Structure formats: structure tokens, C-alpha cells
Amino acid sequence: MPRTEVRGMAPSAADLLRPKPFRGDVVAAGVVVLATLVYVVAVRFDDAWGAGAHLAYAAVAWAFVTAMAVLAPMERDEPRAYQSVLYVSSFALLMVVLAELGRVLGADGALSSAGNGTWFFAALAAYALAFAVRRNSAVCTLLGALSGGAAVLAAVSWIGDAPHFATDRWVLVGLMVVYGLAAIGQRDRRLRHGVALIDAAGLAALVIGWSFAANEFFFADDGTEQAITGVAWGWELLILAAGFGLIAYSSVDRQPGPAYLGVGNLVAFAVITAVGVTRQGATLLGWPVALAVASAALLAIGLRPTTPAPPAPDVDAPEPPPLPLR
């Protein structure tokens, strides 16, 4: 076909929806504003409009953003920043679509029951992981891992017919192991995805730690069955090890995300190891002594005097003759 005829052809719908890479940042900004608008309308008109109306405009916005996300050209192995924004915005809009779809089908809400929460988070996990695989998106790996973990928690609660903090904590431990093993498998091949899985494991540990902290603050003095006067040392050790491990991982691979989560876990550890003990009388026995010994040992090893290295075997050998000029 002659070049002039190609220029004269009207652009297709796909061409109109395909973002230009040099305008990707502007497109991403517009998509974020659009997603915010959808959430504002959904919350403000929650009671004024029916579920069908909410589903209609949310589905149109989701389809529009998803089309751009799928059509955006991959210029390299990793998606550009604006493409990651498109993926996350599409994921966020899908949350509204699924929630309203559930209401249209007769559910009170996506999180109104454990059964509804199971399918809601499972669908989100499958959607995010599809982008993670097809578009090599690490942020979608994180979203998929977190959604999958939430689906597992909801399914366990659904099967058990009642939520239970103790059961949820053990499920979170299992998720930490799964995320950690998956991260090891991705570390050498796709580091960004491995970091995302480590972040998911760190968030699981963080939820465990702060669930204990919330119990200490909100239930320890009310006389209910949930009241606790301390946390088993095994849980404390888990949270402490998670905090140190996340910071160490961040230092080795030079990734900031795990370090922030590690600090959050250490703060949770400090809270849960202090509150219950403080009510019974402050003491240095237990974790303060253990931490002091560990700190002193590590600092002594790191600061110990060193002996000079032995001289090289050829230190006394004469200098080689200069090379001839050529």
C-alpha cells in the first residue's frame, strides 16, 4: 500500500487508546485523577444510586484504563513508571467493579461475609498476577501476593465459620513461608519480583505483630476473653527475626522497601514486649538482657583489633625491567 494512503487512513480505536510513551506521564496522571473520581462518586452516592448505576460507570472507567494498560507498548523488559501506574489504577478500579457486581448479584458487599471476601480477593489476585506474568510487573506481583493472602485468610474464616485471631496468625505464618520461598526462587532471575514477595512476607509479619499490639492496647484491661497480659516468646522471636531479616535483606540487595517493613516489625516487637511486662513491673530480665548480649557480641566481633596481613610473597623481588618501546 502506498505511504500516502497509510497516512490518510483514520486511526483505529486501538491506536486512539494506545498511550504515546513520550506522553505516558500525563496519561498516568489523568488515570489517577479518573480513579479518584470513581471512588469519590462511589462513596458519595453510595445510598443515592443503585448498585447497577455504580457498576455501569465503574465498569466503563475500568475498561478504558485496562485497555490503555494492555495496549501501552513495552519498550524494554520492565514496564515504565507510567505503565505501572496504569496497572495499579486498573486494579483499583476493578475493586469497585467487583464490589458493585456482588451487590447487583445480591451480596450485601464484597467484605460482608467471609465467602464474599474469598471470591473478591481471589479474583483480584488472579487479575494482578496476570499483569505480573504478562507484563513483568513487580508491583502487580506484590498486589497479587497480598490479595491471594487475603483470599486465603477469608477462606479459612469461611471454612471455620468464624474469624479467630489465633488461627489467622498461623495462616499468616504459613503465608510468610510461602512468600519467602517464592522470593528465593525469583531472586536470581527476577530480583524485582523477589523483593515484592519479600515485602509481602514482611507485611504478613507486620500484621501479626500489630495484631498483638492492638490486643495489648485495646483488650488487656477490659476483662474480656481476648484480654492478654503478654505475648508468648515464640511470637516475639518471630517478629524480631522478621525485623532483623528484612533489614538485612534490604542491606544486601540495596532495596529500601524491606527496610521500612523491618523497622515496623521492630517497633511492633518493642511495643508487645514492653506493654504487658510494664503492667506487671518493669524488669531488665528477658529480652533486654538477650538483646544486650547479642549487641555486645556483634560489636565486639566487628570492632576487634586486627593483625596486619602477611607480606606478599614477592615483596622483596626486584622490579621487572621496563618494556621496550615499539
Question: Mind listing the pLDDT tens digit for each residue in 279-295?
Answer: 556 677 778 899 999 99
Position 143 confidence tier, pLDDT thresholds 50, 70, 90? very high
pLDDT digits (tens, 9 = 90+) for 287-325: 889 999 999 998 998 888 877 767 777 667 777 777 665
DSSP 259-296: HHHHHHHHHHHHHHHHHHHHHH---STTHHHHHHHHHH
Distance between CA 176 and CA 144 in Å, rounded? 14
CB 272 within 8 A of CB 236: yes
pLDDT digits (tens, 9 = 90+) for 66-91: 999 999 999 888 999 999 999 999 99
Position 160 confidence tier, pLDDT thresholds 50, 70, 90? confident
CB 100 within 8 A of CB 55: yes
Distance between CA 280 and CA 287 in Å, rounded? 15
